[in-house]
């Protein structure tokens, strides 16, 4: 196990780190590279896991304690906690589980973790880059619904305006015809 400042955050970064460390795959073909905080949250460590890559329950992050993988609940995180069961080698999909404050020895997204040190002595996972899919999809859904509502209202107003114009035009034509008829009738009565 060796300390690192960064953990992979994409499949490409994971593959590069795997090659750099010389990790192989388990008997099922799962990548055995791991990058996790130690249980004390004093550093991130990367290593090649010697064993089968298993599944973890939703609501838990992985940590390393005396060479073994352990789990830590993350259900109270502000966001970024795995919200479905996940495979050990998918740790990179949950950067909130690697975002640690090494001064206060806690997860940065845990509300009880102090955040007044301006990023000093923290793992180099930018919290702004951690995205919670539920929040993203909710905001995206709200924007789409708002756009559809605006389009429907604009189309309805346009349709209503066309009807009013059509009615005004028909009324104007009828008035014009009526006036012409009245003028003709009065001209005819004067000529008699």
Cα distances (Å, whole numbers) of residue 27 to 51, 52, 72, 113, 155: 9, 7, 27, 39, 60
Return the higher-pLDDT residue of 149 and 184. Answer: 149
Kindly tell me the burial class for residue 144, based on how many C-beta atoms sit within 10 Å of its own C-beta (0-12, 13-18, 19 or more): exposed
Return the higher-pLDDT residue of 167 and 128. Answer: 167
The pTM (predicted TM-score) of the whole model is: 0.58
d(CA 136, CA 145): 14
Write down the domain spans for the chain. Answer: 2-130, 132-192
How does pLDDT run across 45-68, given as a tens digit for each residue?
998 888 777 889 999 999 999 888
pLDDT value at residue 171: 66
d(CA 155, CA 12): 46
Whether the per-residue pLDDT at 114 is higher than 60: the answer is yes
């Amino acid at each position: 196990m060796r300390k690192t400042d960064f953990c992979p955050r994409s499949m490409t970064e994971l593959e590069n780190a795997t090659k750099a460390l010389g990790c192989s795959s388990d008997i099922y073909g799962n990548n055995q590279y791991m990058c996790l905080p130690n249980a004390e949250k004093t550093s991130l460590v990367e290593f090649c896991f010697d064993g089968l890559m298993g599944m973890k329950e939703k609501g838990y992050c992985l940590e390393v304690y005396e060479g073994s993988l352990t789990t830590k609940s993350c259900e109270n995180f502000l966001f970024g906690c795995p919200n479905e069961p996940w495979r050990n080698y998918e740790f990179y999909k949950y950067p909130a589980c690697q975002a640690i404050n090494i001064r206060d020895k806690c997860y940065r997204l845990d509300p009880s973790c102090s955040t007044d040190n301006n990023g000093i002595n923290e793992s180099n996972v930018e919290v702004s880059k951690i995205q919670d899919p539920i929040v993203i999809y909710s905001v995206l859904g709200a924007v789409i619904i708002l756009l559809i509502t605006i389009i429907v209202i604009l189309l309805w107003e346009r349709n209503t305006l066309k009807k009013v114009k059509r009615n005004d035009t028909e009324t104007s034509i009828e008035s014009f015809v009526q006036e012409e008829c009245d003028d003709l009738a009065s001209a005819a009565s004067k000529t008699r």
